Each structure stands twice: as structure tokens, then as C-alpha cells.
């Protein structure tokens, strides 16, 4: 072996020698974050520029967005990359980011947890359909090449304490940078997050890292669930109950108690219900401020205190207890879905024109009543409970939530970009949607009336949460319960009973219209209405019991 080749092999064995010198982990994180932001986010910036064209007005925001994306990427890496994970994680993320970049650039797809599920479920024939020279070039240049470089680089973390202090300083600096950007461009970011929600799915690699985490989380939750815990298996209808009950439970969407004229709102938003013999509870509070939490909470036997949605989903709910007692239960949905509540219940999706006969710009809640007489006729025995999950006042496009003839309060906000409208225009559109819910609830009552000979009929309406309409600059709902304004928690609730509902003392109910109730009362009130006997029934939480409300049901 010659001297020359000996020298060469010594150099090759010492990768620490320049140009691949030792680099600190923080420097590496800064470098890869800038690299990801500038090279792997073509789709993110292309879609952003569609919404925010590059001009004098948008330039500061776009510049801020570049800095913010790099800072957030660096922040995530600074928090997850340790001495042990630094190299392997980066070597894994580069090829994945390269693939994600290719598909987002070429197909404009986004990679959410459903997409990850789809990719993992794809068979080899489908995969080959997607392969191209360009994809291989992406993987090679943007995936394998950086991964090899990372492998070769002598990236080093300091001893634990020094590294920790350095990381804390770094994270602190990033947080300052992030907060400064958000504060300086607050208005632009508010609309970016609210109206262009989809854009953030293009952030590479943050978006697929988040989606992968969600996917794993969903799989673990699914694997852990198994069959749900049975509750109320002893439920039964006593032999003394000779009449069949027919109850329609309407689950409302984003309906505020203080926008119902039945509760004293100065605008007449309940003209049709006002003509019906209804009881309107004006002091009802929701369990949560979003559909995804409120629905499982309403139907759960567990109270709102320390409510845990995962735990609730592992357990049977009100609808299952009713079925243990032999009640026929049907869920019709014109919203999103039942959020897991109808897991053990017959479910019908009413959001398409194939099923719902009343659709214009969207399918209307009233359409959920169609064909219901056939369902009732098909159940010759036992009580019947039908849940109708409304589209109701789903925001921000309130102006789409009602047919033209319900546009009574004008002018209305005709965009989902709420900050472009005056608060009055937003309230007008919202109140028109309440008018339409008023019509829907009155239609439910009219539907029930002919059944009064055959059944004890009743309607029980309760909204899932409230809504902010621009008060103090807050819109929509979903704020954490502790800090959410009253408007997001104070919900509308209305009951109606047919003449044959013998056990009801309507005067007694009216006396408690203003009593403090909450979603905590829902479970037991429905069991009480159906006269279900079970160890899970707690009469002290049943709104129909004389002692309820006056006894001070806990309201958070």
C-alpha cells in the first residue's frame, strides 16, 4: 500500500476533520429548520400566496410567516431532539419530508391522520401507480442526500447540564421570536388561522409529524377501547307503565339561551314556538364549549366535573341504557356525526340530498323529519326515542344556516370572514338561524301531535354549547371552559309535552323555568321521561322531578 493511499484512508476514517467539523446540536437545529422552511415548503407558500398575493400590504405578513414557520419548526426540534434522537430522527424526517413535499407540490394533498391511514393501507399496486422519476428525484435529492450528510456530520450534544441550559436559552429566544411575530401581525394571524385553516396542513414537516402523532394516538385509543363498559344493564320499563312513549330529542348546535325570545331576548326569534305550549329553561349551562366534548358529556352518566371524553367513549351511555330497557332508539344526524355517542345505536346521516329531501345550499334540519313516520310504524312495540342532531347555528357561515324566507333580520354578514362584518351583521345572520331553529322545533312538535292518541309524546331540545358573536373580539366557540365567556356556555333548552303525557305537572315545570340546570341533568331527565327503572337513574338530577332545580343542582 502506497503512502498516498494510506493518507487517504486515514482522512476518510476521521470525518471530524474539516469540512465536516463538529457542530453543536443547536446550530444543526437552526440549519435544518431554515432548510425545511425554504426548500420543503413550496406548497405551503404557493397556497399562502394564493390567499395573500405578494404586494406592499401583504409583504410584512409574508415575511413574518417565513420567520414564524422556521421558528416553530426549530422550537419543535429543540424540544424533541436529544443526544440519542438527534441523528436518527432527522435521518428519518428528511426522506418523509421529501415525499410529503412531492405529493403536496404535485397533488396539493394534505397529510392528516386519515391520509397516513390511507397511505399505510395502500397496497403495492396502488403504490406503483404513484411512482415517478420525479418522485425518485425528490427522495434522492431532498431525502437521502440530507440524511447521508446528517449521518456523516459529527453532531454533538454537550454534557447534559450544559446542553439543558443551552437548549433553555434557545427555546426562550425562539418563544420571544414567535410571540413577537404573533403580536406584531396579530390580526393577520387571526384570519390566517380561522379562514385559511387548511394552509397550516401544508407546513412541512410539522404537519405530518403532528398527523403521525395523532394517528398513533388514535390507534392506541382504538386498541385500548375494545368493547365498551356496560352500564344500566338492569334498566327496564315497569309493568305499571301502560302507555308507549314517543320522545324526540333535538340536540341543538351553538344556540345561545339569550338569543331566544322565549327567554326574554328583545328580538322575536321564537315566533312559532311561542304559539306552542312549551317550557323554556333559561338558565341551562353546557358541559363544554365544543361539540366533540359536549355531546359525549351530555349522554354520559358521568357529570361534567372532571369529565374525561376518552373515558366516556369507553363506556355505554344514555342511548345504550334506553336500549337495555327495550326502548327503540334512532339517531338522525344533519351536523357532523354523533361524536361516538351513537356507537351502539342505529345511525342515519342526513347531510346528503340522496337521503334528505330538503336541501338547497345545504341540507336542512327539517329534512330529518322525512320518512320518520315509516320508522315509527316499523316499531309496533316498546317506547321510541329519536335523536335529531341539528346543523342549527353552526358558525361562522350563519348566513347559510337558513332558507331565504328566514332572512328577517338584515343586513346580514354574508361571508365566513367574520371580522369583515359589523357585529350587528353577524348577530343578524345568527338570529335568522335561530328563527330557522324555531321553525324546525315547531315542525317537530307538529309532527308529534298526530301521535298523541297512540303514544305519550314529548320533545326535548337542548343545545350543545353557545357561541361568541364578536363580544370583546371573540368569535365562535371552543375556548377552554375556565376562560370561555358565558355566551359559549349558556345554552337554550326547550321542552314540549303532548296532552297524553300524564305524569307531567306543567305548572310545576314552569315554576322552575329559571332554575339552574346543566348538561348534568340530561341523562337522568331522559330516563325519567321514559319512566326507566335502573340503578343508574338518579332522580335528584331529573328536571321533571319537583325537587330538582329548587334543590340546587350543581352548575359550574
Strands 490-497 and 278-285: antiparallel
Q: How far is the CB of 452 from Zn ion (least distance, A)?
A: 31
By C-beta, is 28 or 254 nearer to Zn ion? 254
By C-beta, is 211 or 291 nearer to Zn ion? 291
DSSP secondary structure string, 103-137?
HHHHH-----HHHHHHHHH--HHHHHHH--HHHHH
**Other CB atoms within 10 A of residue 489 CB:** 25
Place of cell 327503572: 533
Residue 467 near residue 499, CB atoms below 8 Å: no
- C-alpha 495: how far from its chain's center? 27
Q: How far is the CB of 163 from Zn ion (least distance, A)?
A: 45
By C-beta, is 302 or 390 nearer to Zn ion? 390
By C-beta, is 253 or 316 nearer to Zn ion? 253
**Which of these ranges, 178-186, 256-264, 274-282, 464-472, lies near Zn ion under the rule CB under 5 A?**
464-472
- CA 164, CA 138: separation in Å to the nearest integer? 35
- CA 282, CA 519: separation in Å to the nearest integer? 13
**Which of these ranges, 174-182, 264-272, 463-471, 522-530, lies near Zn ion under the rule CB under 5 A?**
463-471
DSSP secondary structure string, 483-513?
T--GGGTEEEEEEEE-TT-TT--HHHHHHTT
**Which of these ranges, 290-298, 306-314, 321-329, 439-447, lies near Zn ion under the rule CB under 5 A?**
290-298
**Other CB atoms within 10 A of residue 173 CB:** 15
By C-beta, is 291 or 524 nearer to Zn ion? 291
- CA 426, CA 49: separation in Å to the nearest integer? 28
- Single out the residue of 464, 467, 520, 542 in contact with Zn ion (rule: CB under 5 A): 464
By C-beta, is 253 or 542 nearer to Zn ion? 253
Rule CB under 5 A: say whether 289 interacts with Zn ion: no
- Rounded-to-10 torsion of CA 371, 375, 380, 382: -130
**Other CB atoms within 10 A of residue 80 CB:** 11
**Which of these ranges, 156-164, 222-230, 286-294, 320-328, lies near Zn ion under the rule CB under 5 A?**
286-294
Rule CB under 5 A: say whether 334 interacts with Zn ion: no
Q: How far is the CB of 253 from Zn ion (least distance, A)?
A: 5
- CA 286, CA 486: separation in Å to the nearest integer? 10
- Phi, psi at 326, each rounded to 5°: 90, 10
Rule CB under 5 A: say whether 291 interacts with Zn ion: yes
Using CB under 5 A as the criterion, what x/- string covers residues 209-238 for binding Zn ion? ------------------------------
Rule CB under 5 A: say whether 328 interacts with Zn ion: no
84-112: burial string, b at 16+ Cβ within 10 Å, e else: eebbebbbebbbbbbbbbbbbbeeeebbb
By C-beta, is 253 or 365 nearer to Zn ion? 253
Q: How far is the CB of 337 from Zn ion (least distance, A)?
A: 12
By C-beta, is 291 or 432 nearer to Zn ion? 291
The sign of the torsion formed by the CA atoms of 508, 510, 516, 522 equals positive
**Which of these ranges, 425-433, 459-467, 512-520, 547-555, lies near Zn ion under the rule CB under 5 A?**
459-467
Q: How far is the CB of 436 from Zn ion (least distance, A)?
A: 16
- CA 1, CA 7: separation in Å to the nearest integer? 10
By C-beta, is 293 or 544 nearer to Zn ion? 293
Contacts with Zn ion in 237-266 (CB under 5 A)? 253
Rule CB under 5 A: say whether 467 interacts with Zn ion: no
> Which residues of the chain form contacts with Zn ion (CB under 5 A)?
253, 291, 464
Amino acid at each position: 500500500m502506497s503512502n498516498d493511499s494510506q493518507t487517504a484512508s486515514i482522512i476518510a476514517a476521521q470525518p471530524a476533520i474539516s469540512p465536516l467539523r463538529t457542530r453543536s446540536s443547536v446550530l444543526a437545529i437552526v440549519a435544518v429548520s431554515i432548510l425545511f422552511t425554504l426548500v420543503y415548503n413550496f406548497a405551503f407558500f404557493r397556497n399562502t400566496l394564493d390567499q395573500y398575493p405578494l404586494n406592499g400590504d401583504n409583504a410584512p405578513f409574508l415575511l413574518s410567516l417565513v420567520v414564524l414557520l422556521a421558528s416553530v419548526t426549530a422550537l419543535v426540534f429543540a424540544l424533541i431532539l436529544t443526544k440519542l434522537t438527534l441523528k436518527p430522527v432527522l435521518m428519518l424526517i428528511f426522506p418523509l419530508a421529501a415525499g410529503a413535499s412531492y405529493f403536496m407540490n404535485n397533488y396539493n394533498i394534505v397529510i392528516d391522520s386519515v391520509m397516513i391511514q390511507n397511505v399505510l393501507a395502500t397496497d403495492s399496486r396502488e403504490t406503483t401507480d404513484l411512482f415517478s422519476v420525479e418522485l425518485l428525484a425528490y427522495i434522492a435529492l431532498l431525502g437521502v442526500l440530507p440524511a447521508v450528510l446528517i449521518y456523516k456530520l459529527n453532531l454533538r450534544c454537550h454534557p447534559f447540564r450544559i446542553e439543558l441550559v443551552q437548549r433553555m436559552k434557545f427555546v426562550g429566544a425562539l418563544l420571544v421570536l414567535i410571540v413577537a411575530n404573533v403580536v406584531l401581525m396579530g390580526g393577520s394571524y387571526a384570519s390566517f388561522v380561522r379562514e385559511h385553516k387548511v394552509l397550516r396542513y401544508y407546513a412541512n414537516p410539522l404537519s405530518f409529524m403532528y398527523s403521525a402523532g395523532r394517528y398513533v394516538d388514535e390507534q392506541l385509543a382504538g386498541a385500548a377501547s375494545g368493547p365498551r363498559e356496560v352500564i344500566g344493564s338492569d334498566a327496564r320499563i315497569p309493568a305499571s307503565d301502560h302507555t308507549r312513549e314517543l320522545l324526540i330529542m333535538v340536540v341543538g348546535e351553538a344556540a345561545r339561551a339569550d338569543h331566544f325570545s322565549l327567554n326574554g331576548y328583545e328580538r322575536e326569534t321564537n315566533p312559532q314556538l311561542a304559539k306552542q305550549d312549551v317550557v323554556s329553561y333559561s338558565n341551562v349551562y353546557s358541559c363544554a364549549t365544543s361539540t366533540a366534548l359536549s355531546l359525549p358529556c351530555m349522554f354520559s352518566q358521568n357529570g361534567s366535573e372532571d369529565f374525561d371524553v376518552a373515558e366516556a367513549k369507553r363506556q355505554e351511555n344514555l342511548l345504550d341504557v334506553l336500549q337495555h330497557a327495550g326502548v327503540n332508539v334512532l339517531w338522525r344526524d344533519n351536523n357532523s356525526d354523533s361524536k361516538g355517542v351513537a356507537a351502539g345505536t342505529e345511525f342515519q346521516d342526513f347531510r346528503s340530498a340522496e337521503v334528505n329531501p330538503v336541501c338547497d345550499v345545504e341540507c336542512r334540519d327539517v329534512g330529518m323529519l322525512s320518512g320518520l313516520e315509516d320508522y315509527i310504524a316499523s316499531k309496533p312495540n316498546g317506547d321510541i326515542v329519536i335523536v335529531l342532531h341539528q346543523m342549527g347555528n353552526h358558525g361562522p357561515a350563519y348566513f347559510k344556516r337558513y332558507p331565504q324566507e328566514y332572512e328577517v333580520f338584515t343586513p346580514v354578514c354574508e361571508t365566513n370572514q367574520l371580522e369583515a362584518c359589523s357585529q350587528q351583521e353577524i348577530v343578524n345572520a345568527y338570529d335568522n338561524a335561530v328563527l330557522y331553529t324555531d321553525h324546525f322545533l315547531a315542525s317537530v312538535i307538529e309532527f308529534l301531535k298526530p301521535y298523541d292518541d297512540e303514544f305519550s309524546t314529548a320533545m326535548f331540545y337542548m343545545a350543545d354549547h353557545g357561541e361568541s358573536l364578536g363580544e370583546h373580539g371573540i368569535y365562535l366557540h371552543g375556548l377552554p371552559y375556565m376562560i370561555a365567556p358565558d355566551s359559549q356556555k349558556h345554552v337554550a333548552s326547550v321542552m314540549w309535552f303532548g296532552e297524553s303525557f300524564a305524569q307531567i305537572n306543567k305548572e310545576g315545570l314552569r315554576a322552575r323555568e329559571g332554575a339552574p340546570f346543566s348538561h348534568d341533568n340530561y341523562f337522568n331527565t331522559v330516563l325519567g321521561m321514559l319512566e326507566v327503572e335502573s340503578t343508574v337513574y338518579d332522580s335528584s338530577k331529573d328536571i321533571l322531578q319537583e325537587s330538582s332545580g329548587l334543590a340546587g343542582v350543581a352548575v359550574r
